[in-house]
Amino acid sequence: MNGSISFRLLFALLALPLLSSHLSASEKGPAPKSDQDSIRTYYLPEIVVSATRSERDPLQVGRSVSLIPGNRLNGSLFQSVGDVLSRYEGIFVVGVGQNPGAVQSIFTRGGNSNHTTILIDDVRITDPSAVNNAADISELSFANTDRIEIVRGSHGTLYGSSAIGGVINIVTRKKLDPGFHGDVEIRTGTFGKGTSTFAQNLFLNYTAPSGLYANASINNLATRGLDATEDTVSNPGVFKNRDRDGFDKRDLVGKIGFQNEVWDIYASFNATDHRIDIDKGAYRDDDNYVVDFQRNLLTYGASRRVNEWLRVKYIGGYSAMERYVVDDSSIVDALGRTDQTFADATYRGSILNNELLVNMELEGAQLTMGAGLYRETMASRSYFYSRSSFGVFESSTDLDSLDLHASMGSLFAHVDLDGRVLAEGVGRFSLGLGARLNNHSSYGSNGTLEASPAYRFSDQSMVYASYSTGFNAPSLYQLFVPNADFTSGITRGNKNLQPETSHSYEVGLKYRLNNEVNFTVSYFSTDVKNVIEYVYLWDKNVGIDTLGNDWMRNDFRGDTYLNLGNLSTRGFEAALQIRLSDELLLTGAVSLVSGKLRYDPADLDLSQTAGHHVQVYNNGAFITKAVESLGLTRRPDTFHASLLYTPRQEFSARLDLKHAGSRMDVYYNSDLGPYGALGTVGVEEYTLLDIFARYNITPQLSLNMRVENLLDTRYREINGFTTRGRGIFVSAGFVF
């Protein structure tokens, strides 16, 4: 594990519950005034659904879970959903501190960026047109958000593919009290020289006494940003045409439904549209490179409580996304001449997801059974034009006619058994059991299972353990992209790919003392087999040491995807909340994670490689013998702390600290093999300090201010890309 977090700091974190127990015993007082501005709450009157797909108190769930209510998101001046998620243990979101609109990749418990399932109202959100099918977290918004539920650890039994590291479920609002409701917010700010951001948010709701309701939400953001890439050219004589990269985003949400004690019926439509100025890559600016992204998401559901012990629920969703990328030349010298190139591409994908669930609450048991069907499609077109002294060059690709798609059907069940059902005298013991069977249109069938025993010492504390298996299906790109090497005929897509599979276990402790002390600690271990890697293939008849040495000879035999790697991660997480007094609330979280990758030539698919030399692009290694790579890229140890001060009901202030440890990042190294591959480079640790204040002028009108990166710390998230400096943001909100 990284050593960037002091063990003394860790010891202090673990000792705080003992201190707080003393405080709570000696300084009992009236109920706390308000913790509505706290970024973290572990004692919650609400319930969590995502952990078992049935309503449960978080303290009674034998898993590491967090619940973020919507009132801790609205008016908090967080820049994005990723900004909030990255403050919770076990999660690191790369891109949060970069220029707004930058791709945000989530890493949960050391897993890869496509090992976390992202849901909106229980409907999975992915990007089928992307290489690894991972969702971009910057796409998500707070529009119409009721709460965010986080479940850490493998959860493939209840949620299927990609839930190896965890599950993030964004739940939207439903009915409110009868009548007309709304809130409006305007915010602005700056996060560096010449930058600005301006946002307007509006939410409207009408709820009838019968339970019929309608919601509408509009979020609009316009940002003039930083130059997204670092400028390392120091020679004043070199011409540079670097530009600032802006970001515009708009979210429109509409939802109608009906909810009473028996029925819960809804349909929701979410339209996301954003435009981002991007650059060519690390250190490489581009003044005419733009991405337009759109997603239309329809979710729907119907739930009926048949009686006190039986509920039947249907959930569905359809998502269609399109990304248009255009690079319309760049100015290359002081005379205004361009590189005389033009490139554009359109990527499209769709997801259709439908599930039927049955929840049964029996004497001493809660049972969830379900069946689902998931289907995804992808298509793309691209065009490239270049003009030079050698003439005009044009090329194009078109995957639209290939009808690339995959589908997966599943059956699953999960039961939570009270100890009294199992045997006399073990009423404090509980056991969760689950299993899932999947059938994929490409690779066939696979299954997952889980077991999670727990023991409650009291209503305030429990210990738990869990063992679970998970999987991650190969993406459509990895399976079917038809690019083929003209010499070997080997295609980049590999139809023989099998899913990545995982085995995980976790042990943990949860402790809660009224509304004054909340503490969780857990240790986890995850092993992922059949990790899908992108590889180069080289002529098997040429020695590795001489590859690329003869310019008259073509040694390259194509590139493809293989089930090759084995990823192992281990980690420790702890989080706490302490009510120090009526005015002070302290929260903290620490995550320590380590890992390694192993490659074995025995795992090579010779039918796909035709026996050629295999070079892993991610580290440049040739797989001629067992290879082990220690360390995880872009997944540091982290520590977060927050101190909330509420001297009066109408005023609160919060101090936030965020620390990310040193870690490895990747860069393109041309010396790794004939074509080069990804090397690694260290990224230094950093610590950021934010302050936040809210003043409620009236019960309806509030003013908010946040200073981000108070000390104007210079740091990096990704090698070659800039991060934001000191930011000052203000907002005004009105609730009616």
pLDDT in tens, 612-667: 999 999 999 999 999 998 889 999 999 999 999 999 999 999 999 999 999 999 99
pLDDT in tens, 219-236: 999 999 999 999 998 888
Q: Beta-carbon neighbour count of residue 88 at 10 Å?
A: 24
* Among 155-159, 314-318, 683-687, the least confident range: 155-159
Q: Is residue 582 part of a domain?
A: yes
> Which pLDDT does position 75 carry in this prediction?
63
Q: Is residue 619 part of a domain?
A: yes
- Of the two residues 680 and 8, the one the predictor is more confident about is 680
Beta pairing, strands 686-696 & 701-708: antiparallel
Q: Is residue 2 part of a domain?
A: no
> Which pLDDT does position 38 carry in this prediction?
46
pTM: predicted TM-score of the whole model, two decimal places: 0.91
**What average pLDDT does range 491-520 have in this prediction?**
94
> Which pLDDT does position 736 carry in this prediction?
93
Q: Answer for the pair 492, 481: CB distance below 8 angstroms, yes or no.
A: yes
pLDDT in tens, 426-468: 888 999 999 999 999 999 999 999 999 999 998 889 999 999 9
* N-terminal to C-terminal alpha carbon distance within the chain: 50
**What average pLDDT does range 291-313 have in this prediction?**
96
Residues with Cβ within 8 Å of 307's Cβ and at least 6 positions away in sequence, in order, are: none
Q: Answer for the pair 216, 254: CB distance below 8 angstroms, yes or no.
A: yes
* Among 30-34, 40-44, 162-166, 504-508, the least confident range: 30-34
Picking from 454, 472, 475, the residue whose alpha carbon sits closest to that of residue 376 is 475
Beta strands in 63-144 (DSSP E): 65-69, 91-94, 105-108, 116-120, 123-124
Q: Is residue 1 part of a domain?
A: no
> Which pLDDT does position 14 carry in this prediction?
42
> Which pLDDT does position 410 carry in this prediction?
98
Domain boundaries, position 480: 7-735
Q: Is residue 448 part of a domain?
A: yes
Q: Is residue 387 part of a domain?
A: yes
Q: Beta-carbon neighbour count of residue 401 at 10 Å?
A: 7
Q: Is residue 411 part of a domain?
A: yes
> Which pLDDT does position 25 carry in this prediction?
36
Picking from 535, 588, 632, the residue whose alpha carbon sits closest to that of residue 165 is 632
- For residue 305, is pLDDT > 60? yes
> Which pLDDT does position 676 carry in this prediction?
93
Distance separating alpha carbons of residues 470 and 113, to the nearest angstrom: 15
The token pair that represents 71 in the structure block: 């009132």
Q: Answer for the pair 120, 270: CB distance below 8 angstroms, yes or no.
A: yes
pLDDT in tens, 324-378: 999 999 998 999 999 999 999 999 999 999 999 999 998 889 999 999 999 999 9
- For residue 2, is pLDDT > 70? no
The residue written with tokens 């958000």 in the block is: 145
Q: Answer for the pair 667, 679: CB distance below 8 angstroms, yes or no.
A: yes
Distance separating alpha carbons of residues 121 and 159, to the nearest angstrom: 13
- For residue 212, is pLDDT > 90? yes
The token pair that represents 91 in the structure block: 């999660």
Distance separating alpha carbons of residues 558 and 483, to the nearest angstrom: 9
Distance separating alpha carbons of residues 582 and 198, to the nearest angstrom: 35
Distance separating alpha carbons of residues 3 and 15, to the nearest angstrom: 20
> Which pLDDT does position 22 carry in this prediction?
37
* Among 57-66, 167-176, 669-678, the least confident range: 57-66
Distance separating alpha carbons of residues 555 and 546, to the nearest angstrom: 10
Residue type, 250: R
- For residue 116, is pLDDT > 70? yes
The token pair that represents 422 in the structure block: 């199992």
- For residue 516, is pLDDT > 60? yes
Q: Is residue 308 part of a domain?
A: yes
> Which pLDDT does position 24 carry in this prediction?
37
pLDDT > 70 fraction of the chain, expressed in percent and rounded: 93
Reading phi first (left if > 0) and then psi (alpha if -120 to 50, else beta), residue 673 is in left
> Which pLDDT does position 5 carry in this prediction?
39
- For residue 177, is pLDDT > 70? yes
pLDDT in tens, 393-410: 999 999 999 999 999 999
pLDDT in tens, 189-207: 999 999 999 999 999 999 9
**What average pLDDT does range 470-481 have in this prediction?**
97
> Which pLDDT does position 46 carry in this prediction?
56
Confidence tier at 488 by pLDDT (50, 70, 90): very high
* Among 43-57, 345-359, 394-408, 689-703, the least confident range: 43-57
Q: What is the CATH number of the domain that holds 526?
A: 2.40.170.20
Identify the H or E element spanning 591.
Answer: strand 584-599
> Which pLDDT does position 421 carry in this prediction?
77
Domain count of the fold of the chain: 1
Q: Answer for the pair 59, 47: CB distance below 8 angstroms, yes or no.
A: no
Picking from 433, 436, 415, the residue whose alpha carbon sits closest to that of residue 359 is 415
> Which pLDDT does position 42 carry in this prediction?
41
* Among 7-21, 291-305, 549-563, the least confident range: 7-21
- Of the two residues 579 and 41, the one the predictor is more confident about is 579
Average pLDDT, whole number, for the chain? 91
